[in-house]
A and B are shown apart, each in its own frame.
Chain A
């Protein structure tokens, strides 16, 4: 039982980590918590579903869906973040919550004729692999691998590339960054686009497992938010590790303590971390509390 729960916890945690990674990229670059990130995730799943239902293969649908969510992220930046960039944190939070409801409304309108949920075709069949007596879904393996690869790639991007350093500079002090010639507005567009790309990637990869329905964004947002809080809201590695810990904690708690605790795991982690270590496991001490 322990190893089965561990395997499913790692799989589920990879999803939380990937979604949290998108939130952290936006927070790290723009110092804004994107509460519409869950809806970006759901939008990607719906777009991917519509494309596969119309004959596109999994990978082509995935590429187009993440392209669409990247554009969606840019639109959120232009429509909601940029006009409020100098406003209070509370205004930004309310703006992204408003955007999340707007996206959900659009998804619901277009989804209205498709019933309770729709089934997203998986890359592999649902017959599990059995490794040393532990059952592992192939789709879960893909998710875990993609989450770790993304974490490494984005870590290298921020640390080694010119664009990554520009993003960090803007995040530290956008006025100073502008003085040294960085196009701050363009950098913000990249940040929101990349963050949403990650959310979209997670949405399409997870859709075959969670199935696709309009409210799928909210529950994943809560768990991923908890993962980001646990790992530290400005740490890329923290997002992924926080996600993995969150997934394992959730599965172990419901496996050993009782399945009625499965959905409170996320909230309890948020409260506990904020009380004990507000900066999270890997976050920098000076970050603003979210």
Chain B
């Protein structure tokens, strides 16, 4: 009788524990006993639909597929759903609502475009959904108060600082010109450059503007040429950069160092797009991803091809691999009792996380959710993109 009572008591206790554990899981959206559901917020249509979105998504899938094949994380497999953001508010807002309320995901990941994320940032914060951003750069995305949005890409304002520092490191450069787009994307980089130049006591000799639609950059090139600068800093999308470089070349400005940014990460392609031999010879771009052709990264090409045959190892897929690896690290740290709060704490505890895809480590804290602070300038040399460093040097 006593034996039966003990068994009964144990059974009741066991059931109660299971119920408690079950309740805890049920209270965490997107987490079951054996799965964790993540929404990949990626632009699959619109201006970045061909390159950024599919690349980031495939990079993440390659990482998570490997994790699942080796048993998952604390007994749970990673599940993912792709939500198209179109790189726009019109598609991004319904997309994020679908992910949070319909798919009931545990967290959001990827995020390719600043304008789109800024449009739904409040929804993410209000719901306390963890969001790991891998491509967008605007400073406001991660600015405080910010419960749960982390970034692995370079913050635009910081990128502007890198551009200004690099320009200032050019020997005998005293006259600085800047040309920028003044939308959410370009303004943040521009502000970073200007803040740093002001700190150095430098006022640009030319401060010009272009939009993504500007068809002819003759006025911009002429005004910059008239100001006689030693170096030109640009914060323009790839298309207006192409239009500007064609005009700049006419007036001899491409003989000067031209400082580009992370959105132009393929100088070989830029040279082809501009279509004028020599127009990109003195262009320096900043990146946080390593050379995709590095021999140690070779195995990733096959892993990505296994996800989708057309996906190559590009900066976009490298952003995906890096970001997805950071998510895996935090899930591991959060342990079996996974909640959004425990995941956020785990993310905040990441310090010096190394990814083979990027130049520097990722470190977060409660007050700083911009984990990546390492850039590298590159330039074309003999048809190949070569590392230069964070300060100017001639590439031999």
Query: A12-B215, A262-B214, A263-B214 given as contacts; is B47 within 8 A of A116 (CB)?
Result: yes
* Residue of B214, B216, B238, B272 touching A116 (CB-CB under 8 A): B238
* Residue of B209, B242, B251 touching A211 (CB-CB under 8 A): B242
**Interface locus among A3-11, A56-64, A236-244:** A3-11
B97 contacts A by Cβ under 8 Å:
no
Closest to A213 in B: B239
* Residue of B45, B47, B213 touching A219 (CB-CB under 8 A): B213
User: Considering the complex, which residues of chain A in the window 116-134 have a beta carbon less than 8 Å from any beta carbon of chain B?
Assistant: 116-117, 119, 122, 125-128
**Interface locus among A22-30, A75-83, A168-176, A253-261:** A253-261
B220 contacts A by Cβ under 8 Å:
yes
B273 contacts A by Cβ under 8 Å:
yes
* Residue of B46, B211, B249, B274 touching A108 (CB-CB under 8 A): B46
Residues in B whose Cβ lies below 8 Å from that of A210: 215, 243
A181 contacts B by Cβ under 8 Å:
no
Q: Provide the bound-state CA to CA distance between A258 and B179, in Å.
A: 12
Query: A1-B226, A8-B216, A262-B214 given as contacts; is B243 within 8 A of A211 (CB)?
Result: yes
Closest to A206 in B: B215
Contact (Cβ within 8 A) B239 A126 = no
Instruction: Report the number of A-B residue pairs with Cβ-Cβ less than 8 Å.
Output: 99
- B88, chain A: closest CB distance, angstroms: 11
Q: Provide the bound-state CA to CA distance between A8 and B221, in Å.
A: 12
B219 contacts A by Cβ under 8 Å:
yes
Q: Provide the bound-state CA to CA distance between A242 and B243, in Å.
A: 25
Residues in B whose Cβ lies below 8 Å from that of A4: 218, 222
Contact (Cβ within 8 A) B218 A8 = yes
Closest to B218 in A: A8
Size of the chain B interface, CB-CB below 8 angstroms = 37
Query: A112-B50, A114-B50, A128-B250 given as contacts; is B219 within 8 A of A251 (CB)?
Result: yes
- B265, chain A: closest CB distance, angstroms: 12
Q: Provide the bound-state CA to CA distance between A9 and B213, in Å.
A: 16
Residues in B whose Cβ lies below 8 Å from that of A215: 213
Residues in B whose Cβ lies below 8 Å from that of A255: 218-219, 222-223
A113 contacts B by Cβ under 8 Å:
yes
B117 contacts A by Cβ under 8 Å:
no
Size of the chain A interface, CB-CB below 8 angstroms = 40
Contact (Cβ within 8 A) B216 A12 = yes
B26 contacts A by Cβ under 8 Å:
no
A209 contacts B by Cβ under 8 Å:
yes
Contact (Cβ within 8 A) A251 B50 = no
Query: B218-256, CB under 8 A of A: which get 1 and which 0?
Result: 111011001000000000011100110010011100000
Residues in A whose Cβ lies below 8 Å from that of B219: 5, 8, 251, 254-255, 259, 262
Q: Provide the bound-state CA to CA distance between A127 and B276, in Å.
A: 7
Contact (Cβ within 8 A) B210 A259 = yes
Q: Provide the bound-state CA to CA distance between A128 and B223, in Å.
A: 19
Closest to B43 in A: A112
Contact (Cβ within 8 A) A126 B275 = yes
Query: A173-208, CB under 8 A of B: which get 1 and which 0?
Result: 000000000000000000000000000000000100
Contact (Cβ within 8 A) B208 A263 = no
- A262, chain B: closest CB distance, angstroms: 6
- A105, chain B: closest CB distance, angstroms: 11
Q: Provide the bound-state CA to CA distance between A44 and B35, in Å.
A: 49
A55 contacts B by Cβ under 8 Å:
no
Residues in A whose Cβ lies below 8 Å from that of B45: 108-109, 112
Contact (Cβ within 8 A) A209 B215 = yes
Query: A1-B222, A135-B251, A259-B210 given as contacts; is B239 within 8 A of A116 (CB)?
Result: yes
Contact (Cβ within 8 A) A113 B218 = no
Q: Provide the bound-state CA to CA distance between A76 and B180, in Å.
A: 39
User: Considering the complex, which residues of chain B in the window 260-310 have a beta carbon less than 8 Å from any beta carbon of chain A?
Assistant: 272-276
Q: Provide the bound-state CA to CA distance between A8 and B219, in Å.
A: 9
Residues in A whose Cβ lies below 8 Å from that of B274: 126
Contact (Cβ within 8 A) B218 A119 = no
* Residue of A12, A115, A216, A219 touching B50 (CB-CB under 8 A): A115
21 contacts between A and B (CB under 8 A): A4-B222, A8-B216, A11-B216, A108-B46, A112-B50, A115-B48, A116-B237, A117-B47, A117-B239, A117-B242, A119-B273, A125-B276, A126-B246, A126-B274, A206-B215, A211-B243, A218-B213, A219-B213, A258-B209, A262-B209, A263-B213
Question: Which A residues are closer than 8 A to B by beta carbons?
Answer: 1, 4-5, 8, 11-12, 15, 108-109, 112-117, 119, 122, 125-128, 135, 206, 209-211, 213, 215-216, 218-220, 251, 254-255, 258-260, 262-263
Question: Which B residues are closer than 8 A to A by beta carbons?
Answer: 44-51, 182, 208-211, 213-216, 218-220, 222-223, 226, 237-239, 242-243, 246, 249-251, 272-276
List 5 additional A-B contacts (Cβ < 8 Å) besides A8-B216, A115-B47. Answer: A5-B218, A8-B218, A116-B47, A126-B249, A259-B210
